[in-house]
Structure 1
Amino acid sequence: MTRATLSLGIGLLLLLGAGIYVWTGAAAESERGVMPEDIDIVAGKALYAETCAACHGANLEGQPDWRSPGEDGRLPAPPHDETGHTWHHGDQLLFDYTKLGGRAVMAAQGMDFDSGMPGFGDQLSDQEIWNILGYIKSTWPERIQDMQAVRTEGETRSREN
């Protein structure tokens, strides 16, 4: 199996997992499943620098070759700018992935996925996680923000049904 085939397979599994996650409504319950209105982007930027930048880059650029698994089989940290895939997911999934970690979110769907993303729920409050996500989203071009908002809306609707 080539590295490209393996990478594509892992990517498809991630997409499938995220789709199942949203479809089954297994996201952690929140009042609306969308980012609260009282986001502090300045605090989020500072928290991102302290908590996230070591892996995801000071400028949200991610690690090199983030689409290809490393020798340990894990995918490197992706960018959180518009070139990455963060904006392909709704708010609640991004929140849960940050709070619980990638492995836990995927395990809730019955998938064993060795994600390098740890959970930060024991280090950051819910508001701090939302502030970080608000900062990340504030850096995206309006077109990307609009597309991500549509994904959030779809994610929220699927939980309501």
Structure 2
Amino acid sequence: MSARTVLLSALGIAAAGSVLIGAWPWLAARIANGDASAGTIALGKTLYAKHCAACHGPNLEGQRDWKSPLPSGRMPAPPHDASGHTWHHSDGMLFRITKEGPAAVVGGGYQSDMPAFGKVMSDEEIRAVVAFIKSTWPEQERAYQAEMSRHERETTQ
């Protein structure tokens, strides 16, 4: 192999590495969001504002004192930002809670003010809302939630 060939190969590898390093934040965000596109996340943001923000807050902050029952005995809407517990749940669980409502998922006579959205939003729209919410979390919360989702996929197959 000539010195010129070695040099060109090294330059090619360095250029490819630079492209990958430059693309890493974009690639990491796509992986963390279940490969959700920017368009999917934008749709989710719009749908969240329309269907979720009235209770969960326009900035995903949830209702005040969300860990204490309301006078009705029901729980306030929790935050969906990193201060809440949404990121503790797998994609499948978040999808089911949104589509079927918490009462249907929790069972045992649990009552919630959150309705089921399965007749209001399509499955794709529900997934877009979840992708939007996930896109707002810091890296550590996204990684934890991705692991929960991976574990769920492995145990249900």
Q: Deviations over 1:98-121 (max 9, x none)?
A: 0000111123xxx21112221000
Q: CA deviation at 1:154?
A: 1.4
User: 1:31 — aligned with what?
Assistant: none
Separation (CA, whole Å) in 1 of partners of 2:35 and 2:123: 13
**Which of the pair is proportionally richer in helix?**
2
Native 8 Å contact 2:100 2:118 kept in 1: yes
Native 8 Å contact 1:44 1:135 kept in 2: yes
Report which structure shows greater RCO (CA 8 Å, sep ≥6).
1
Structure-2 change in CA distance of 1:146 and 1:36 (3 Å): closer
Native 8 Å contact 1:36 1:130 kept in 2: no
User: 1:54 — aligned with what?
Assistant: 54
* 1:100 aligned partner, one-letter code: E
RMSD of aligned C-alpha atoms? 1.3
User: 2:41 — aligned with what?
Assistant: 41
Q: Deviations over 1:2-32 (max 9, x none)?
A: xxxxxxxxxxxxxxxxxxxxxxxxxxxxxxx
Separation (CA, whole Å) in 1 of partners of 2:130 and 2:102: 16
Structure-2 change in CA distance of 1:88 and 1:38 (3 Å): closer
Structure-2 change in CA distance of 1:43 and 1:84 (3 Å): same
User: 2:116 — aligned with what?
Assistant: 119
Gaps of 5+ in 2: 1-32
Native 8 Å contact 1:88 1:151 kept in 2: yes
The share of aligned pairs that are identical, in percent, is 50
1:155 corresponds, among 141, 152, 156, to 152
Q: Does 1:63 align with 2:60?
A: no
Q: CA deviation at 1:36?
A: 6.0
Q: Number of residue pairs matched?
A: 123
* 1:55 aligned partner, one-letter code: C
User: 1:14 — aligned with what?
Assistant: none
* 2:68 aligned partner, one-letter code: S
Gaps of 5+ in 1: 1-34
Structure 1 segments, 4+ long, off by >6 Å, are none
Please give the secondary structure, in 2, of the residue aligned with 1:127. Answer: helix
